[in-house]
Amino acid sequence: MLLGLGQTAQVYLAEAPGLGQVALKLPRKEVRQDARLAERFAREVSFSLSLKHPYLVRGLAGVPLGKEAFLALEYFPKGTLEAQLLEERLPLEEAVKALTQIGEALLFLHQKGLLHQDVKPSNVFVGDRVYKLGDLGTLRPILDRGAEYAGSPHYLAPELFLGGLPSEKSEAYAFGVMAYELLTGKRPFKGETLEELRDAHLFLPPPPTSLPPRLDKALRRLLAKNPEERLSIRAFLEVLRSWREGTKDQGPPKEAKPKKRFSLF
């Protein structure tokens, strides 16, 4: 059964010997014939099979290149977090749980020297009492200085719109947009065109929220326009944990003051 149809691959529900039901990802013919796209699929196979974390989608088997190229991934009958959000908003406690788990997956990737680059609800899969980050084909070494990068405009950090390079800071911003979406039920920035969306990310503050004060302040710092002033994912997770534990509202954790300013021009 066809589960999804993308620009580069088709995903089917399949039965694998010894593995049960899996999500079987097959690259399109044009992907196999394009060296750059084929290498991206091969990279996804390699990362999916080698990176092990409780909140990353688990790769089960695969062939990276050639006519027989495929990737078998664990199957999630509940689908993606995006599909779930289209049906109903997550309860606050459940949103905190999802963000905590995806945040830990991102910190794991950063410790491995990698950026995900495309953090958004459609790349988060819903399991039984667990949320997992998928689509590892967009992974990129943190030290990669190449100009090409991945990501959705709805979750793109301001510095990337201006030609900057992806970093843990831009990843924190994308995570912040998703956090705002999960915690408030709406995205912080909207636009009918790419230009409108770009300007919103560059110049507009996120709308006020009705979240507890400490959580609200931390969320706004996660969405800071200046990457040097942006709260880290780790610091934001500390706020989430303390909120769950009922810690007294004392404001977001302090981080080192930036040494240089960020300019939009």
Q: What is the CATH number of the domain that holds 18?
A: 3.30.200.20
Domain count for the chain, please give it: 2
| Whether residues 93 and 43 fall in one domain | no
**pLDDT digit string, tens, across residues 128-158:** 889 999 989 889 999 988 877 888 999 999 9
Question: Where in the sequence is the domain holding 70, given as residue range(s)?
Answer: 2-74
| Whether residues 171 and 207 fall in one domain | yes
- Residue 74 pLDDT: 94
Per DSSP (E only), the strands in the chain are 2-5, 9-16, 20-27, 59-63, 70-74, 114-115, 124-126, 131-133, 140-141
In a domain? residue 255: no
In a domain? residue 156: yes
In a domain? residue 226: yes
Last residue of a domain, one of 74, 108, 127: 74
| Whether residues 53 and 115 fall in one domain | no
- The answer to whether the pTM exceeds 0.85 is yes
- State how far the Cα of 156 lies from the Cα of 16, in Å rounded to an integer: 37
| Whether residues 38 and 88 fall in one domain | no
Q: How far is CA 124 from CA 48, 198, 208, 224, in A?
A: 14, 24, 26, 24
Please report, in angstroms and rounded to a whole number, the separation of the first and last CA atoms in the chain. Answer: 50
Question: Which tokens sit at 26?
Answer: 């097959």
In a domain? residue 50: yes
Last residue of a domain, one of 55, 74, 93: 74
| Whether residues 39 and 65 fall in one domain | yes
**pLDDT digit string, tens, across residues 201-253:** 999 999 989 998 989 999 999 999 999 999 999 999 999 988 877 744 444 44
Residues annotated as catalytic (active site), given as ranges: 118
Confidence grade of residue 256 (pLDDT, cut at 50, 70, 90): very low
| Whether residues 89 and 52 fall in one domain | no
| Whether residues 33 and 133 fall in one domain | no
User: Domain containing 124 — which CATH number?
Assistant: 1.10.510.10
**pLDDT digit string, tens, across residues 52-80:** 999 999 999 999 888 899 999 999 999 99
In a domain? residue 172: yes
Question: Which tokens sit at 137?
Answer: 């084909």
Q: How far is CA 26 from CA 5, 21, 174, 263, in A?
A: 10, 16, 28, 43
In a domain? residue 91: yes
- State how far the Cα of 52 lies from the Cα of 48, in Å rounded to an integer: 8
| Whether residues 67 and 88 fall in one domain | no
Whether 26 contacts 9, CB under 8 Å: yes
- Residue 151 pLDDT: 85
In a domain? residue 132: yes
- Residue 66 pLDDT: 86
